[in-house]
Amino acid sequence: MDCEYFERWLDEGPGETPGAEGHAHAASCARCGAALAAARALDAALERSAIAAPADFAERVMERVARARQARLLAWIEPEVLPWWVRAAAEPATALSLALAALVSWQYPVLARFTVAAFQALASPAVATFMQQLAAPRFTLDLAAFSDPFVFTGLVLAGLPFAWWAGLAVYHWSGDPQAPRTAWR
Amino acid sequence: MDLVRPDAQEALIRPLVGRARGGDQAAFRELVLLHQDRAYGLALRITRSPADAEEVAQDAFVRAWLALARFRGESSFATWLHRIVARRALDRLGELKARRGREAAVGETESLPDPLFAVPGAAPGDFEAATRGRRLERLVMRLPAAQRMAVTLYYYEDRSVEQAAAILGMPESTVKTHLARARAALRAAWQKEGL
């Protein structure tokens, strides 16, 4: 056994045994003998060394646990806790969209009359003015269809999913940058 | 001082885990007391900052509490908890490196307060053993993060190479390599400092 092999064995760990040949080498080589003694002392020190948690560590953990328990109803903001579809359903934008869709389905005639009246009172003059300004010969796009309140309402409803998606994106983008991004399970 | 030995005391821990899963905070507090030193020590050896280590370890316990319902007992509670601590500490370390750079984190090693390091079995007046323990800790703290984690789990946590690999999400051969390199570096520094 040479010094290089002996040192390699030392670095393999305490579970490995050098055998009689290794011990004989350590006895005959002062450098490897010192290395063996250092390795044994190191192993002993590693076995004995430990770190103690700060005082009141457990109490502070339990305080946080109590707070976490109270806040668990809001746990949908924790990415790991609930499935994605639960968190998506809990988004305020989703709830608003569903409420609006239900209202439209349930009270469609009333809403339609209200929409027409509101559009005629507020939007129609503005749209007419806008259309007159766009009546230049070089602009041929016909926007008259947008003046129909039903088309207008339909476009708004069609845009709700995109609004929900954008709201979700902004929500995640504006989240705490220190929050964990790594799933640990 | 922490009394938990991962294999020997699992039978003691299992009923506590069962009660804690049912919402028993007293049982969970017992689990915290049994594991706090090792969890904090693992976090400290990874982050090298007492303040960050305490935050990481506490956060890991809270996450463990919230996720207890999903703990199926496929591994021991300690292994599961240490995996959470290690991942949280690595996340924290990544944030710190991004913010301050690695050199600043190394510099913090020198400011670690002495009372953090206790040497089990040492008599109150055993200054030599305490000094050696502190110096050894400082040597360990200077190792690269992967070697530090491998040494921490293998030596301080009494984990097998297989368990350390599972906790760190590395192949066993990689853990063995980290351990061998860490031992070589520690042994060289040990001899150099004449410990």
pLDDT band at B122 (very low <50, low <70, confident <90, very high): very low
How many domains, chain B? 1
pLDDT band at B28 (very low <50, low <70, confident <90, very high): very high
pLDDT band at B80 (very low <50, low <70, confident <90, very high): confident
Residues, chain B: 195
- Residue B57: predicted pLDDT: 93
Domain that holds residue B162: 10-193
Average pLDDT over residues B135-148: 84
Query: How far A92 CA lies from chain B's nearest CA (Å)?
Result: 24
CB < 8 Å from B in window 43-82 of A = 45-54, 57-58, 60-62, 64-66, 68-69, 72, 75, 78, 80-81
Compare all CA atoms of chain A with the CA of B182 and give the residue at the minimum distance: A11
B53 found inside a domain: yes
Chain A residues within 8 A of B116 when measuring between CB atoms: 51-52
Q: Does A7 touch chain B (CB under 8 A)?
A: yes
B1 found inside a domain: no
How much is the ipTM here? 0.70
Strand partners, B118: A50
The closest of B89, B68, B72, B101 to B153, measured between CA atoms, is B89
pLDDT in tens, B86-95: 888 888 887 8
Q: Which residues contact A54 (CB under 8 A, 6 or more apart)?
A: B40, B50, B54
* Cα distance between residue A110 and residue B89, in whole Å: 58
List the pLDDT tens digit at each of the 185 positions of chain A. 678 777 777 777 655 555 677 778 888 888 888 888 777 777 777 766 667 889 899 999 999 988 876 666 555 445 555 667 776 777 777 778 888 888 877 887 888 888 788 877 776 677 777 767 766 555 555 666 667 777 778 888 888 888 888 877 776 665 444 344 443 33
Our CA angle for B27, B28, B29, nearest 5°, is 90
B14 found inside a domain: yes
- How many angstroms separate the Cα of B124 from the Cα of each of A17, B3, B38, B121, B137? 35, 19, 22, 9, 19
Q: Tell whether the model's pLDDT for residue B34 goes beyond 60.
A: yes
Compare all CA atoms of chain B with the CA of A31 and give the residue at the minimum distance: B191
CATH assignment at residue B175 = 1.10.1740.10
